[in-house]
């Protein structure tokens, strides 16, 4: 029995057109902070130091008011200034522990709510976006989507002015895959992707008064 001809060309069947993008991932704490707050850093350096210095200033004025009434203006000023400086320096020293404490509190809260550590099965295709988490499925067609945004490779699908479904940059295997995803979303949605984002940087409080 003769074998197959070595000159024969193997048949190459065209792959079916990609119908959509399917990913399974978990959201992290920073993903939620990106949506809920104007920054991931819940205790930014200078606003925190300024706020604590102001609190210490009022406390020092109250506690040393008797020196002012007694006419010891220089001593009064020294005590107040020293208290403000000490309060600011102490805040800077304790800033990192306070940040870790606050992130820990927020992480425990989100974990208790069931939005951290839960696998999300998400799909983006020509019909819109959908995702399933903890047995519940949420779907949103393109014409009902509130807005589209992208920042540093992360895509935000805003289902409303207060709630977004993110596709984090880390779930894409390459820049080429991310670009293919971007091009497909532009084609399917028929709307531009805002970059840098506007809604994500407003924070939850800043989006309250936006039109529906």
Cα separation values, 209 from 76, 193, 202, Å: 46, 22, 11
- What is the chain's mean pLDDT, rounded? 88
- Provide mean pLDDT across the span 6-28: 65
Residue 181 pLDDT greater than 90, yes or no: yes
What value, to the nearest 5°, has the Cα angle with vertex 32 and ends 29 and 34? 110
What integer pLDDT is reported at residue 74 of this predicted model? 94
E strand spans, the chain: 20-25, 120-125, 128-133, 136-141, 147-151, 154-158, 164-167
Domains and CATH numbers, the chain: 20-38+115-207 (2.30.29), 45-113 (no CATH)
Confidence (pLDDT) at 18:
54
- pLDDT 10s digits, 21-38: 999 999 999 999 988 887
- Edge-to-edge, what's the strand order for the sheet holding 154-158? 147-151, 154-158, 164-167
Comparing 12-21, 71-80, 104-113, the range with the smallest average pLDDT is: 12-21
The band of 12, judged by pLDDT with boundaries at 50, 70 and 90, is very low
pLDDT at residue 7, rounded to an integer: 46
Tokens of 102: 């606050």
Do the Cβ atoms of 114 and 7 come closer than 8 Å? no
């Amino acid at each position: 029995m003769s074998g197959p001809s070595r000159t024969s060309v193997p048949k190459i069947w065209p792959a079916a057109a990609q119908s959509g993008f399917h990913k399974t991932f978990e959201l992290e704490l920073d993903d939620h902070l990106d949506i809920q707050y104007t920054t991931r850093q819940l205790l930014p350096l200078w606003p925190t130091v300024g706020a604590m210095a102001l609190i210490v200033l009022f406390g020092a004025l109250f506690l040393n008011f008797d020196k002012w009434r007694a006419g010891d203006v220089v001593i009064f000023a020294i005590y107040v200034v020293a208290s403000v400086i000490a309060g600011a320096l102490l805040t800077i020293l304790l800033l990192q522990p306070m940040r870790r404490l606050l992130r820990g509190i927020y992480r425990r809260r989100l974990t208790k709510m069931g939005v951290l550590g839960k696998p999300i099965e998400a799909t983006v295709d020509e019909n819109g976006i959908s995702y399933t988490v903890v047995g519940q499925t949420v779907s949103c067609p393109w014409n009902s989507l509130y807005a589209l945004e992208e920042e540093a490779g992360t895509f935000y699908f805003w289902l409303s002015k207060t709630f977004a479904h993110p596709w984090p940059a880390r779930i894409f295997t390459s820049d080429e895959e991310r670009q293919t995803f971007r091009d497909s979303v532009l084609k399917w949605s028929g709307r531009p992707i805002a970059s840098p984002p506007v809604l994500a940087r407003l924070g939850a409080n800043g989006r309250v008064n936006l039109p529906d």
